[in-house]
Amino acid sequence: MAKLYIRISPERIYAKNLDSGAVFDEPALLAVSEAGGRKLIVAVGNTVAAACAETGAVRIAPFDTHSRVLVDDFDSAAAIFKYAVKQITGRSFIAPSAIVHVTKPLAGGLSAIEKRALQELAQSAGARNIKILDDPAVAGYTPGQLEEYLKRI
């Protein structure tokens, strides 16, 4: 079973498969267009700006549009999670475990509702055994220190 580390900031989503070393590190953006009353995802991450310019799609930033909440658009956030996890796990039939880490400064830390939203986002991407990392000390870790910390949990 693969172990994933997913870090969310208002601007980026970073996901790493701790077993294979595969990394997804792109802007937390979607380009969405509407056709027949349905929303269609046109692009994710680095290709959003070009897709919006070419197709007239709407840019959505589900982690960056509201100052008081972590996730402003749950469905868009789930789409980004699914895309990132698929990029680092491939076509695995075994559900990976996941560690989800939020770097957006939130007064008072993560609420129970925000933790549940993160759990559900990771589950929607196929992950199981999800741990929400809300240790403020981790924010100052170097990449090497963070890798060691993640191996222990």
Please report, for the domain that includes residue 94, its CATH number. Answer: 3.30.420.40
The answer to the question of residue 37 being in a domain is no
The answer to the question of residue 13 being in a domain is yes
The answer to the question of residue 86 being in a domain is yes
CA–CA distance, 23 with 15 (Å, rounded to integer): 6
Q: How many domains, in total, are found in the chain?
A: 1
The answer to the question of residue 94 being in a domain is yes
Predicted model pTM: 0.86
Tens of pLDDT along the chain (153 residues) come to 789 999 998 889 999 999 899 999 999 999 999 888 888 899 999 999 999 999 889 999 998 767 677 888 899 999 999 999 999 998 777 889 999 988 877 777 788 888 999 999 999 999 999 999 877 677 677 777 887 887 777
The answer to the question of residue 60 being in a domain is no
Q: Is 7 helix (H, G, I), strand (E, B) or coil?
A: strand
CA–CA distance, 1 with 94 (Å, rounded to integer): 6
The answer to the question of residue 56 being in a domain is no
* Residue 93 structural domain: 3-26+67-152
The answer to the question of residue 50 being in a domain is no
